[in-house]
Chains A and B, each alone.
Chain A
Amino acid sequence: TQLLEQSPQFLSIQEGENLTVYCNSSSVFSSLQWYRQEPGEGPVLLVTVVTGGEVKKLKRLTFQFGDARKDSSLHITAAQPGDTGLYLCAGANDKIIFGKGTRLHILP
């Protein structure tokens, strides 16, 4: 059974701080996707990483796919209240497997 473990489950930090959330598995994935979900809405794709070691940047968000394509991280620089939400990673092979998410709260 393929599993994706996300850590931490919850994170509450002050505006302006940096943070990293992790997504780990013992399985290899052909790609890994990160989604953000805000209250009352469905998850929205942020990025897809495909190649082992790949790094993608989306403004203050940096996504990295592990060399072995089993893990990924999301780093946020100078967090803003607008970054508040539930961050989900999802590994894709013949189907998509979701982690349970990291609930991030940025305090103004």
Chain B
Amino acid sequence: DVKVTQSSRYLVKRTGEKVFLECVQDMDHENMFWYRQDPGLGLRLIYFSYDVKMKEKGDIPEGYSVSREKKERFSLILESASTNQTSMYLCASSFPTENNSPLHFGNGTRLTVT
């Protein structure tokens, strides 16, 4: 079974802190994604990566950056956390999308910024 592991289930950070959310997958997937999920807004794509050291902006990249130094690891960085970044963050991985490959999600990190 594919396993996507997010380093923390719950995080509480203060406004202005730098926050790192880590995600590791064990299936040698090329693609990795970061989403945030908010009530009434669904899943929104923040950043994605199709290869090591490659990154692309999703629909809502403002206030975030990412790092993919190794194929299995995709990190989401909040440079200066703000209260409007309180959310559930979901990492996912997949084989190339043109193969109709599904996304495999981690169990999420619920981040609260106070």
Query: Among the listed stretches A14-22, A53-61, A66-74, A98-106, which one makes contact with chain B, having 4 or more residues with CB under 8 Å of it?
Result: A98-106
Number of interface residues of B (CB under 8 A): 20
Give B contacts to A, CB under 8 Å.
4, 9, 40-43, 45, 48, 90, 92, 97-98, 100, 102-108
Residues of B contacting A100 with CB < 8 Å? Answer: 40-42
Cβ-closest chain A residue relative to B104: A45
Given known A-B contacts A41-B107, A42-B92, A33 and B43 have beta carbons under 8 A apart: no
Given known A-B contacts A98-B43, A100-B42, A42 and B100 have beta carbons under 8 A apart: no
Q: How many A residues touch the partner, as a band?
A: 20 to 34
Give A contacts to B, CB under 8 Å.
30-31, 33, 35, 40-45, 48, 50, 88, 90, 92-96, 98-101
Cβ 8 A contact of B100, one of A35, A92, A95, A98: A92
The CA-CA distance from A16 to B108 in the complex, in Å, is 32
The CA-CA distance from A33 to B92 in the complex, in Å, is 15
